[in-house]
């Protein structure tokens, strides 16, 4: 199992789980069990009407898929290099100085947080405490989609609860205000879900564009992309060829093509602006590798002098 021991990423991952659990508890307590309870339930241990039982099951399924997708995205190897050296047929291969000279394919990038090269690295996401690469991009996209759908469904359930409360009042002017606990908790969940929809939908759009252009977020800043064919082929290269496995949060069985070229978007080279984006994406550029090589050279000089003095 892949685990990235980054304190900030672990904290955000735990926060994600806590927000999902809090949202679930609030909706079940103050919406479903408040307005869909019946004296003749289908199951004694769930005192809900058939409609309430259906809404509960659907809601739990969405939240479970979101949570499991997040856990799998956190604990799945994003695409570390399985080969340490380039094929002999490849001329002028790149080597990563930060990975002790291991082979660095054209579409691989070194993550400063994971401290290794990731094939088809999109970016390092602290919310999953992991890189988004070829092996877990499907899980990351599923987490985004299920989280967005769950947030929209939560807002609809909150609106339904508010409508039920208004409908149950004989006179709105004389109606007692709802309890402070339910009002505060439902208000917090509404703000949380509304922010999640805005935040996550932007990421979903970026991932769709990434699939369409066959270019990761890192490659977008570097003005490069992989070979472009059709959206369908790009999609199956991430989700796998078996369509019935696409909605389920487990990694697809993909064979990485390390020889896949990184083609330039434009004739001119990308400028200094992209160097500033390396830190935000969590990748190590050529400057970082050169600095690492210089540090290794400087640290080796004192050892060399000590060895020479012994020989004298």
Residues that are catalytic: 125
SS3 content of the chain, % helix, strand, coil (to 5): 55, 10, 35
Element (H, E) at 102: strand 102-103
DSSP state of 30: I
248-283 CB burial, b ≥16 within 10 A, e <16:
ebebbebebebebebbeeeeeeeeeebeebbeebbb
Tell me which residue of 119, 129, 4, 97 sits closest to 284, measured CA to CA: 97
Cβ-based neighbours of 202, under 8 Å, separated by 6 or more: none
Q: Are 125 and 131 in contact (CB under 8 A)?
A: yes
Dist CA 193 CA 159 (whole Å): 12
Runs of H (alpha helix) within 214-285:
217-221, 231-239, 273-281
Between the alpha carbon of residue 243 and those of residues 140, 236, 246, the distances in Å are 17, 9, 5
Dist CA 229 CA 212 (whole Å): 9
- Three-state SS at 169: coil
Q: Taking the CA atoms of the chain, what radius of gyration do you get in angstroms?
A: 25
């Amino acid at each position: 199992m892949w685990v990235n021991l980054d304190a900030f990423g672990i904290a955000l991952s735990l926060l994600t789980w806590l927000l999902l659990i809090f949202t679930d508890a609030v909706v079940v307590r103050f919406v479903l069990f408040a307005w869909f309870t019946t004296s003749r339930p289908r199951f004694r241990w769930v005192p809900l009407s058939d409609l309430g039982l259906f809404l509960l099951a659907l809601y739990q399924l969405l939240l479970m898929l979101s949570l499991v997708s997040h856990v799998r995205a956190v604990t799945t190897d994003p695409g570390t290099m399985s080969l340490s050296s380039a094929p002999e047929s490849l001329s002028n291969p790149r080597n990563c100085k930060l990975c002790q000279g291991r082979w660095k394919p054209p579409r691989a990038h070194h993550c400063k947080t994971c401290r290794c090269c990731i094939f088809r690295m999109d970016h390092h996401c602290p919310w999953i405490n992991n890189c988004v690469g070829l092996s877990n991009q499907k899980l990351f996209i599923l987490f985004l989609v299920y989280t967005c759908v769950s947030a929209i469904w939560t807002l609809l359930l909150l609106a339904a609860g508010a409508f039920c409360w208004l409908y149950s009042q004989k006179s709105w002017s004389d109606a007692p205000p709802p309890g402070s606990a339910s009002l505060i908790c439902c208000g917090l969940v509404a703000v949380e879900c509304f922010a999640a929809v805005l935040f996550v939908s932007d990421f979903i759009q970026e991932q769709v564009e990434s699939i369409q252009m066959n270019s990761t977020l890192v490659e977008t800043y570097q003005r490069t992309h992989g070979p472009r064919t059709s959206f369908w082929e790009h999609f199956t290269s991430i989700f796998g060829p078996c369509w019935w496995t696409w909605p389920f949060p487990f990694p697809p069985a993909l064979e990485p093509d390390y020889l896949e070229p990184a083609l330039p978007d434009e004739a001119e080279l990308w400028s200094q602006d992209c160097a500033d984006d390396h830190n935000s994406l969590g990748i190590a550029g050529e400057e970082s590798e050169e600095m690492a090589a210089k540090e290794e050279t400087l640290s080796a000089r004192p050892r060399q002098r000590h060895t020479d003095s012994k020989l004298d």
